[in-house]
Amino acid sequence: MAEVFLKLEGIKKSFGGVRALKGVDLEIRKGEVHCLAGENGCGKSTLIKVISGAHDPDEGNIFIEGKKVENLKPIDSIRMGIQVIYQDFAVFPNLTVAENIAMNRALMTGAKKMDWKEARKLAIEAMEMIGAKMDPDILVERLSVANKQMVAICRAIINDAKFLILDEPTTALTAKEVEKLFKIIRKLKEKGIAIMIVNHKLDEIYEICDKLTVLRNGEYVSNGDITEYDRARFIRDLTGRDIEEIKYSPEEDENEILRVEHLTRVGAFEDVSFTLKKGDVLGITGLLGSGRGELGDALFGLAPAQSGKIILNGKEIQIHSIQDAMNNKIAYVPEDRLTQGLFLERSILDNTMAASIKNYFKKGKLDYKAMEIATDDWIKTIGVATPSAKPAIRTLSGGNQQKVAIAKWLNTSPDLLVLNGPTVGVDIGSKSDIHAILHRLAKGGVGIIVISDDLSELVQNCNKMIVMRNGKVAEVIDNTVDETTLADMLSGKQGG
């Protein structure tokens, strides 16, 4: 067996009263791809920050290549070959690709002056090594998310990384880009680099990882070869409960909630027609650029349609603005929730109430008690990991922030709820909780539209799906379709 690169023993870390890590053990060997899994808020990012020296643990031991290290600082961990790629990649938008890649190395070696010619050469070498094709002289702000990530990986490997940590690297990537990333990871693995990935998508974990460590509530739960975990065990270890994965199939109901006719917005989507009946959870899918997101934006008045009809509960409505949409009881959970959907410095309660505050005025006064009860209720129903409704959103883990964004719109009691990528970054247990809420609402007569490219989510959660290609409706299907066929439909390999 390969040598152990990193060993953690009994790591504990608290933030005020929150015990984020309660004694975690972990062992990472050279040349292995190790998945760190666990529900939102279980302490994954905190553990990574302990390994990178960004957080001091309160207790516990860290061994790197067999040597016990004390008082680990970020610069030490980099010197020992540990490189972390955070979700935002921490690249500098106004520097070029080459400058970004070479940057840290200059800082590390303490060079007083930057040798740009040398930097450019290094950058090109790094890109060649992982097979990334980018113009070294282009500004990073002009790159796609996937390419920004490539820059971060290049930067990591030219710093002689021995251990590369990627915190949720695939959340913002398309399926093709994920494939490319995995190819690079396999290459690095062959070179003997140890890799740890945080990921919530089971299929991806099975595809790329050798080992798995599961945390729950800041505690170590289990560890082993990926082959020792079937879906059921994985879900049980993660959540502490059994989750049935059954497809949503409501009873037929002829009551029409929403009818869309010939909806068009030039350059985004064209002649889109569909109906949504009571009980339906309608999926809208397609590749990036298919118009799926733009259609959602139009229903909420963010970028309104220019022609066509929208009929909600039998009445034709006009949506030229967000206000129009909200007046017609349409709610929208946007894709980019962290920037569009939440006030990070404000409390969970403030955020949950943000779209429905007008319902809480009693004789001209805000009814705080009612607001607290409603917020606590949502915290319980969708499982936000927090001691109360008081903390600022900023202090919640990524997945828990997402859940509050959804609660905010659920609290408006909408007639039509459109969710764009509702469970991106959300763990399996909460995903199933969120799906259950959507199903309950649909059966109660709320129109539910889920825009997504997460195929397993679509097949399980939606009873009807629209596949969009080049701005047009290419297929309308039910959930008897399997994921492979659906993937082919997205790219146009199958169907018309």
User: Per-residue contact track with ligand ATP, 320 to 349, x per CB under 6 A?
Assistant: ------------------------------
CA 302 – CA 295 distance, rounded (Å) = 10
Minimum CB distance to Mg ion, residue 442 (Å): 30
DSSP letter assigned to residue 466: E
Residue 398 found at the interface with ligand ATP (CB under 6 A): yes
Length of the chain: 496
Residue 171 found at the interface with ligand ATP (CB under 6 A): no
Residue 400 found at the interface with ligand ATP (CB under 6 A): yes
Residue 139 found at the interface with ligand ATP (CB under 6 A): no
Residue 52, contacted partner among Mg ion, ligand ATP, none, CB below 5-8 A by kind: none
Q: Would you say 432 and 364 are in contact if contact means Cβ atoms under 8 Å apart?
A: no
Residue 78, contacted partner among Mg ion, ligand ATP, none, CB below 5-8 A by kind: none
Interhelix angle 398-410/428-443, rounded to 10 degrees, is: 10
Residue 46 found at the interface with ligand ATP (CB under 6 A): yes
Residue 45 found at the interface with Mg ion (CB under 5 A): yes
User: Per-residue contact track with Mg ion, 351 to 390, x per CB under 5 A?
Assistant: ----------------------------------------
CA 162 – CA 192 distance, rounded (Å) = 8
Residue type at 147? N
Q: In this structure, are strands 307-312 and 315-317 parallel, antiparallel, or unpaired?
A: antiparallel
Nearest to 472 by CA among 268, 308, 175, 258: 268
Q: Which span (272-280, 330-338, 395-403, 441-449) binds ligand ATP, by CB under 6 A?
A: 395-403
Among 2, 3, 15, 135, binds ligand ATP (CB under 6 A): 15
Minimum CB distance to ligand ATP, residue 395 (Å): 4
Bridge partners of 4? 29
In whole angstroms, how far apart are CA 336 and each of 37, 282, 422?
Answer: 23, 21, 10
Instruction: Using alpha carbons only, give the angle 237, 243, 245 rounded to the nearest 5 degrees.
Output: 125
Q: Which span (3-11, 42-50, 145-153, 323-331) binds ligand ATP, by CB under 6 A?
A: 42-50
Residue 467 found at the interface with ligand ATP (CB under 6 A): no
DSSP letter assigned to residue 288: T
Minimum CB distance to ligand ATP, residue 4 (Å): 23
Q: In a 3-state reduction of DSSP, which class is residue 283?
A: strand
Token pair belonging to 206? 């099975």
User: Per-residue contact track with Mg ion, 391 to 430, x per CB under 5 A?
Assistant: -------x--------------------------------
Handedness of CA 418, 248, 199, 238 (dihedral sign): positive
Minimum CB distance to ligand ATP, residue 354 (Å): 20
Q: Would you say 328 and 278 are in contact if contact means Cβ atoms under 8 Å apart?
A: no
Minimum CB distance to Mg ion, residue 405 (Å): 16
Comparison of 341 and 399: residue with beta carbon closer to Mg ion: 399
**What residues from 219 to 278 belong to the interface with ligand ATP (CB under 6 A)?**
none
Q: Which span (37-45, 372-380, 407-415, 477-485) binds ligand ATP, by CB under 6 A?
A: 37-45
Residue 296 found at the interface with ligand ATP (CB under 6 A): no
* Cβ-Cβ contacts under 8 Å for 141 (sequence gap 6 or more): 93, 94
Bridge partners of 258? 276, 312
Minimum CB distance to Mg ion, residue 255 (Å): 42
Residue 41 found at the interface with ligand ATP (CB under 6 A): yes
> Which residue has the closest beta carbon to Mg ion?
45
Instruction: Using alpha carbons only, give the angle 438, 444, 449 rounded to the nearest 5 degrees.
Output: 40
Comparison of 293 and 341: residue with beta carbon closer to Mg ion: 341
Phi, psi of 315 (to 5 degrees): -120, 130
Comparison of 45 and 463: residue with beta carbon closer to Mg ion: 45
In this structure, which long-range contacts are made by residues 90-93, counting pairs with CB atoms below 8 Å and at least 24 apart in sequence?
90/152, 91/140, 91/148, 91/151, 91/152, 91/155, 92/140, 93/139, 93/140, 93/141
Q: In this structure, are strands 361-362 and 365-366 parallel, antiparallel, or unpaired?
A: antiparallel
Query: From start to end of 328-372, where are the E strands?
Result: 330-333, 361-362, 365-366
Residue 44 found at the interface with ligand ATP (CB under 6 A): yes
Residue 43, contacted partner among Mg ion, ligand ATP, none, CB below 5-8 A by kind: ligand ATP
**What residues from 151 to 170 belong to the interface with ligand ATP (CB under 6 A)?**
none
Q: Would you say 198 and 168 are in contact if contact means Cβ atoms under 8 Å apart?
A: yes
Among 26, 38, 213, 457, binds ligand ATP (CB under 6 A): 38
Give residues in contact with ligand ATP (CB under 6 A): 15, 18, 20, 38, 40-46, 385, 395-400
Give residues in contact with Mg ion (CB under 5 A): 45, 398
